[in-house]
Amino acid sequence: MHEGYTLIEGDAPLLVSVPHDGRDIPEDIRARMTPAGLDIQDTDWHVARLYDFAHAMGATVLVAHWSRYVVDLNRSADDGVLYPGQLVTGLCPARTFGGEAIYRDGGIVSDDERAERVERYWRPYHDVIRRTLDTLRERHGHALLWDAHSIPGRVPSLFDGDLPTLNVGTFDGRSCAEARAASVFEAAQASPFDTVLNGRFKGGYITRHYGDPAGSIHAIQLEIAQRAYMDEESREYDEPKATHLRKTLQAMLSAFLDRATR
């Protein structure tokens, strides 16, 4: 276990990345935060627990420890915009999805501090992704990246109405070969959950940056509406719901792996 992440290595050509379930905040940053910031309400709650079956399927599993309020691992180091015209939360966000200040007195993270956080908290996670994908491709001839996320089913600042339960993103087909993506999406459509491909969530920086079908690296992001496996109000994990959902997640990951070996 590294200070900033846990890495469990597997023998399949699959890396499951969990960048937003981290809860840790360094003390110097914590001391400057508001109650809303300390509440880390935009965490992808329990996603690592939800996917704890993946290693038994042979996947290498990478789970971040730092909160996305420290640094958002699914944003580029230069803080480029992912979705033009949509709310921008940023690499080192100053406000929650709901618009509440994360730092006292409306403070923001300076350019110098942002650069320091990139080196200390962002880069180690991405170094592991790069190294792991290169190793898997060398070993198997291809590598698969599954970026695992979740979000409340209603976030008015980000999207209208209720979010579909399963939101598969392939950067509009650029991060994953069409046949592989279709196989995964078909498994999702066969489930009892409402599903969309490249809707509001097309894949963040991790999917877009590392997905390289021409180079035999295929990346998919799955954004799950949290109502499918937890109580969104209490943030408590719902084991019966989660067990039901995990059957679909296993089918989707199996489809991803099966397609990759054909």
Q: Where do the structural domains in the chain lie, given as residue ranges?
A: 5-23+41-75+120-260
Inform me whether the pLDDT recorded for 33 exceeds 70: yes
CA distances from 30 to 45, 56, 96, 119, 145 (A): 19, 36, 15, 19, 32
Nearest Cα neighbor of 221 from 164, 145, 161 is 145
Report pLDDT digits (tens) over 38-90: 999 999 999 999 999 999 999 999 999 999 999 999 999 997 665 555 555 68
Give the rounded percent of residues in the chain with a pLDDT score beyond 90: 86
Mean pLDDT estimate for the chain: 93
Tokens 């809707």 belong to 199
Q: Look up the CATH number of domain 5-23+41-75+120-260.
A: 3.40.630.40
Inform me whether the pLDDT recorded for 260 exceeds 80: no
Q: For position 155, what pLDDT does the model report?
A: 86
Instruction: Tell me which of 191 and 105 has the higher pLDDT.
Output: 191
Region 155-171: mean pLDDT is 89
Whether residue 202 contacts residue 170, with contact meaning beta carbons closer than 8 Å, is answered with yes
Q: What is the DSSP string of 159-211?
A: -SSPPPSEEEE-TTTTSS-HHHHHHHHHHHHTSSS-EEESSS----HHHHHH-
Q: Indicate the pLDDT class of residue 20, thresholds 50, 70 and 90.
A: very high
Q: For position 262, what pLDDT does the model report?
A: 43
Nearest Cα neighbor of 68 from 87, 32, 41 is 41
Q: Indicate the pLDDT class of residue 1, thresholds 50, 70 and 90.
A: low
Inform me whether the pLDDT recorded for 160 exceeds 90: no
- Cα 187 to Cα 83: distance, rounded to the nearest angstrom: 27
Q: For position 111, what pLDDT does the model report?
A: 92
Q: For position 157, what pLDDT does the model report?
A: 75
Inform me whether the pLDDT recorded for 213 exceeds 50: yes
Cα-Cα end-to-end distance for the chain: 34
Find the range with the poorest average confidence among 42-51, 200-209, 215-224, 252-261.
Answer: 252-261
Nearest Cα neighbor of 10 from 65, 64, 56, 48 is 56
Q: The whole model's pTM is what?
A: 0.94
The sheet that has 60-64: what strands, in order across it?
5-8, 60-64, 14-18, 143-151, 217-225, 166-169, 195-197
**The two structure tokens encoding residue 68:** 């996305």
Query: How many C-beta neighbours within 10 Å does residue 104 have?
Result: 12
Inform me whether the pLDDT recorded for 261 exceeds 50: no
State phi, psi for 127 to the nearest 5 degrees.
-60, -40
- Cα 70 to Cα 147: distance, rounded to the nearest angstrom: 19
